[in-house]
């Protein structure tokens, strides 16, 4: 799975890499975590970094808390699983990152976090899906049981998930899944291709340009978000 990642690449470099403008200031993040609002590039606004909440809430969900269990979508079933099929059909996105974290079991039974990134720390896009969930309108005031009662509108909730696939040889030493890293030339296909075309870019990324190294267990807490989280530690 992919449960944490980083995005500290300078804004100007992200603008150049993705051809998109942020809808609000981009801050350096070293510990992006589920439940947070994070920048993505959606298929309906490919020239913007929009901020969506990590943890996909299907449009038909009764409770937005279901997003807590939908931070990842398996590439093998994303086209037919009810939670993701509609989004896969028409709401795909790019999730910018410059590294992600995996936890490997140690011989002592604990888990050691590792950072996975390109050797030059360049930014990349993970394949994602996004959704817009609209809460039910509630009537308020004296006329709340009538047809003309005032309504209390809540803003639609926009969320996303990261697609995962089988690991490459490097990641297989750490975990049995990895985020789908898109080659730059495949990003347009993922955003705008038909479902059959999109399926062709969901392979595991070759490991010859990637590196993985152990980092501090401080990354285990989303409250910790600082540059020292990506520093190599001895294990």
Catalytic residue list: 2, 102
Question: The tokens 């750490």 sit on which residue?
Answer: 174
CA angle, residues 125, 126, 132, in degrees to nearest 5: 105
Question: The tokens 């530690």 sit on which residue?
Answer: 233
- Phi–psi pair at 49, nearest 5 degrees: -95, 110
End-to-end CA distance of the chain: 23
Query: Using an 8 Å Cβ cutoff, are 151 and 119 in contact?
Result: no
Alpha carbon of 114 to those of 34, 60, 174: distances in Å? 18, 36, 8
CA angle, residues 7, 14, 102, in degrees to nearest 5: 25
- Phi–psi pair at 5, nearest 5 degrees: -155, 175
3-state secondary structure at position 81: coil
The H helix count followed by the E strand count for the chain is 5, 16
| Spatial separation of the C-alpha atoms in residues 80 and 77, rounded to whole Å | 6
């Amino acid at each position: 799975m992919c449960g944490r990642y980083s995005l500290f690449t300078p804004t100007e470099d992200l603008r150049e890499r993705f051809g998109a403008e942020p809808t609000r200031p981009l801050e350096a993040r070293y510990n992006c975590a589920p439940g947070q609002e994070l920048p993505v590039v959606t298929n309906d606004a490919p020239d913007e970094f929009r901020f969506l909440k990590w943890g996909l809430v299907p449009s038909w969900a009764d409770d937005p808390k279901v997003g807590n269990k939908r931070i990842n979508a398996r590439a093998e079933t994303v086209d037919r699983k009810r939670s993701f099929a509609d989004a896969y059909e028409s709401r795909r996105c790019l999730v910018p990152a410059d590294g992600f974290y995996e936890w490997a079991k140690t011989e002592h039974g604990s888990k050691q976090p590792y950072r996975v990134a390109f050797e030059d720390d360049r930014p990349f896009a993970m394949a994602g899906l996004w959704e817009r969930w609209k809460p039910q309108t509630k009537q308020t005031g004296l006329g709340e049981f009538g047809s003309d009662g005032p309504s209390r509108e809540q803003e639609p909730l926009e969320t996303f998930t990261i697609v995962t696939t089988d690991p490459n040889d490097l990641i297989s030493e750490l975990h049995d899944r990895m985020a789908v890293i898109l080659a730059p030339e495949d990003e347009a296909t993922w955003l705008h291709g038909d479902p059959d075309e999109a399926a062709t870019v969901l392979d595991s990324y070759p490991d010859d340009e990637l590196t993985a190294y152990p980092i501090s267990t401080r990354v285990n807490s989303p409250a910790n978000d600082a540059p020292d989280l990506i520093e190599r530690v001895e294990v």
